[in-house]
Amino acid sequence: MANHKVTRTREFVKGLWDENAVLVSLLGLCPVLAVTNSAINGLAMGLATTFVLFSSSTIISILRKLIPHQVRIAGFIVIIATFVTIADRFLAAFYPDISDALGPYVPLIVVNCLILGRQEAFSSKNPLGRSMLDALGVGTGFIGVLVVLGSIRELLGSGSVLNFTLLGDWFAPWMVMILPPGAFLTLGFLIALSNWINERRAEA
């Protein structure tokens, strides 16, 4: 049931840090690691995922009383897959370079446990307004992590951020950063960092 003590602002803000999908709940890791080899790819993937999350949450919240409980997962999945198809085709049609860079990871948004998780935990049980805020908050938090991860990997792996070369020729790029090991290592450090930050906040 909707918790009316939770303000509308809170519904949005909680997704940014306290209930951050990646750093706290460890959801949606597959695309996080795969397409964050540059900041722009991370941003694009974040936006695509947020689009799917927001649209799915909206529709499912509207239909929540109509979908019988037993087939809810199947229903959710079909709706999510539809929006993923829309997003995927949209990118292929209007931003083909990004579509190529993100590759097969856009369709994999379908099984991003993050999205299905939100539908199951929230939108199927909450009114439209709150569901939309929840989706936007979690999505924004997700985009945040993707962009930070992408920027770090791009900076250390290619010396640039958003294709602006920041580090000159003196910097020998750490190739490993744009390869799989770099993704895992960076995320590991980011999670440790967020744990440290949370600990400091709790003490304060």
Partner 1 sequence: MNLILIFISAAIVNNFVLSYFLGICPFVGVSKQLSSAVSMGMAVTFVMTIAAAVTWLIYHLILVPFQVVILEYVAFILVIASLVQLVEMFIRKVSKPLYDTLGIYLPLITTNCAILGLALFATLREYGFIESVVYGVGAGAGFTLALVMMAGIREQLELADVPKHFQGAGITMIVAGSLALAFMGFAGLLSV
Partner 2 sequence: MSTSARMIVVLTVITTLVGGLLAGWDSFTSPKIEQHRLERIRAAVEEVLPPHDQYEKVEIGGMSFYVGKSSADETVGIAFQAVGTGFQGEISMMVGVDASFAQITGVEILSQVETPGLGTKIVTDPTNKQNPDWFTDQFKDLKAVAEITAIKNQEPSGSTEVQAITGATISSKAVVDILNTTLEKAKDVYQSQKEQVL
Nearer to partner 1, 12 or 105 (CB): 105
Binds 112: which of partner 1, partner 2, none (CB < 5-8 Å by kind):
partner 1
Binds 174: which of partner 2, partner 1, none (CB < 5-8 Å by kind):
none
Contact 103, 80 (CB under 8 A): no
CB neighbour burial string for 119-150, b if at least 16 within 10 angstroms, e if fewer:
beebbbebeeebbbbbbbbbbbbbbbbbbbbb
Joined together, the tokens standing for residue 18 give 């306290």
Q: What x-and-dash track marks residues 97-126 binding partner 1 by CB under 8 A? A: -------x--xx-xxxx--x----------
How near is the Cβ of 5 to partner 1 at its closest, in Å? 30
As a whole number of angstroms, the distance between CA 145 and CA 141 comes to 6
Give, as ranges, the residues between 9 and 38 that touch partner 1 (CB under 8 A). 26-27, 29-31, 33-34
Give, as ranges, the residues between 62 and 81 that touch partner 2 (CB under 8 A). 66-68, 70-71, 74-75, 78-79
What are the helix (H) ranges across 95-179?
A: 96-102, 113-118, 128-158
Among 55, 46, 17, 80, residue whose Cα is nearest residue 132? 55
Residues in the site for partner 2, rule: CB under 8 A? 66-68, 70-71, 74-75, 78-79, 82, 85-86, 89-90, 92-94, 96, 158, 169, 173, 175, 178-180
